[in-house]
Structure 1
Amino acid sequence: MARRPGRRRGIWAIALLVLGVTLIAGPMAYMFARFTPVKQFGENMLPTIPVGSVLAVEKDHGEVRHGDVVTYDPAEWGYDGPFVGRVVALGGDHIAYATGDRTLTLNGKPLDEPYVRDGEAGASGVSFAVSVPQGRMFVLGDNRGNSQDSRFHQEHHQGTLPLAAVTGVDAEMHEESPLMVVLGLLMSAGVCLLPLSLGLGIAWLVVRRRRPAEVPGPVWGATRVDVP
């Protein structure tokens, strides 16, 4: 049986299409399993996170660190979550603010907070001095003048929350891991392969239409005419 014209192009087109889709779908499935989208409805994290922004938060986040932007469950405060806030102190830290001060102090030293809106670290005017118990955290919003955070719930463990209340960490706060870089490169390769497979597929179809396959052997019913 004769080989159809352009058969190799067709095989390559299908192979590249499958490979391209796999390179895109695989990393995307992994990322959907690892991250979850959370929409920011309030103004408490301005200007860092505008109202209506969607955060990609890492569900299996590992260790929570100073300065992390997290989503958390404020059940201990009697609210339904998730809330979004910034971790400014962890277990063993002493966090404090006195009315009139320009900055908070962390373990007796001024806390540098370039992310705070208008640079007003104590915009609410609420004073506090909290020694954070082990396994807990002190959470504030970047918009200190409009944030329902640890400062206003000091009757509950001095406003601290357990680290277990963290439901996710904003992925942009952590440095890119080598794995995430590799996944990004694989997805980019998959995107590049799709138009290549499409081009080969079109070329295969064009060749098939222009050059129909030849059928070997005699043609039954043909009449032989001898020329005198």
Structure 2
Amino acid sequence: MAGRKPTAGAVIQALGIGIGLVAMVGGFVLIALQYRPYQVPTGSMEPTVNAGQTVIAEKVSGSDIGRGDIVVFKDTDWGNTAMVKRVIGVGGDVVKCCDAQGRVTVNGVPVNETYLDENPTVGRAGPADQQFSATVPAGRLWLMGDNRAISEDSRVHLDQLGGTVPASTVVGRVEGVVLPLGSMHSIARTTVFDALPGRAATDHGPLGLAAYAAVGGGALVLITAGAGTVAGIVKRRRTRGA
């Protein structure tokens, strides 16, 4: 006896589940291959990243990093653990603190760092605070935390190659917060350095697309499977009632 042909509904259901599975698995695989999570133990990057949160960073080469990028790096001169800071200066830059409004300058240009806390509980670095002037050697980076009042960054390592770290120590560029779940969010690329000549913050990777694919694919599988189950129940009830 010849087998029954699949109904249009069954074909649509199979296609929906198949497409959903491909999108979900593809999204998770892309994230697993290109991204790594890192916990931030201190408040040195507040308010952008809070103490105890876990960030997700795309694996990138330090030579591609630009001013404004938030990076994960590991420099043995700074300790044996991965750290998260923001790039303020790249090779050839002169970074100084500060102008009359308390702004850091890069190559003589004041930078309006809109990601800093506008009302910090402790005053941020300013003219009456820690003054510094550093020239960043080629292949190295000047790094600072967004919480300037407590961050132990390039400013406290001025006696070690002018506070800079090798660009090769960068292991990732931070693109979002993933834990705790209630605080999950992406971190947008900053534009505050775009007016300066040279390397500004780099474009983020496919994290958003991969996340949408994974979540959307999973949702499509559940919705399609659920709809098929409901349709089957309704059909059986109608058959019994006939």
Q: Same fold (TM over 0.5)?
A: yes
Summarize the alignment of residues 45-124 of structure 1 with structure 2, pairs less than 5 Å apart. Answer: 45-60=45-60, 63-77=64-78, 79-97=79-97, 102-117=102-117, 118=120, 120-122=124-126
Superposition deviation, residue 156 in structure 1: 1.2
Task: Give the Cα–Cα distance (whole angstroms) in 2 for the partners of residues 80 and 124 of structure 1.
Answer: 33
Q: Residues 91, 202 of structure 1: CA spacing in aligned structure 2 closer, same or farther, 3 A cutoff?
A: same
Give the residue type in structure 1 aligned to 2:80.
Answer: D
Aligned length: 210
Summarize the alignment of residues 63-212 of structure 1 with structure 2, pairs less than 5 Å apart. Answer: 63-77=64-78, 79-97=79-97, 102-117=102-117, 118=120, 120-122=124-126, 125-171=129-175, 172-174=187-189, 175=203, 183=210, 186-187=213-214, 190=217, 191-204=219-232, 207=235
Q: Which runs of 5+ in 2 are unaligned?
A: 176-186, 190-202
TM-score computed with the length of structure 2 as normaliser: 0.73
Task: Give the Cα–Cα distance (whole angstroms) in 1 for the partners of residues 41 and 137 of structure 2.
Answer: 30
Moved more, 159-168 or 199-208: 199-208
Q: Which residue of 2 aligns with 1:38?
A: 38
Choose 1 or 2 for highest CA Rg: 1
User: Percent identical across equivalent pairs?
Assistant: 28
Q: Residues 67, 27 of structure 1: CA spacing in aligned structure 2 closer, same or farther, 3 A cutoff?
A: same
**Mapped contact 1:40–1:51 kept (Cα < 8 A):** yes
Q: Which runs of 5+ in 1 are unaligned?
A: 213-228
Moved more, 163-172 or 116-125: 116-125
**Mapped contact 2:61–2:172 kept (Cα < 8 A):** yes
Task: Give the Cα–Cα distance (whole angstroms) in 2 for the partners of residues 98 and 65 of structure 1.
Answer: 21
Query: What value does the CA root-mean-square deviation take over the aligned residues?
Result: 3.2
Residues 159-211 of structure 1, C-alpha deviations (whole Å, 9 max, x = no match): 1001111111112344556x666546644652235312321244336646875
Task: Give the Cα–Cα distance (whole angstroms) in 2 for the partners of residues 141 and 124 of structure 1.
Answer: 19
Give the residue type in structure 2 aligned to 1:17.
Answer: I
TM-score computed with the length of structure 1 as normaliser: 0.76
Task: Give the Cα–Cα distance (whole angstroms) in 1 for the partners of residues 171 and 222 of structure 2.
Answer: 36
Residues 110-156 of structure 1, C-alpha deviations (whole Å, 9 max, x = no match): 22222233372349933221110011010011111111111111121
**Mapped contact 2:71–2:172 kept (Cα < 8 A):** yes
Q: Which residue of 2 aligns with 1:222?
A: none
Q: Residues 59, 180 of structure 1: CA spacing in aligned structure 2 closer, same or farther, 3 A cutoff?
A: closer
Task: Give the Cα–Cα distance (whole angstroms) in 1 for the partners of residues 28 and 89 of structure 2.
Answer: 34
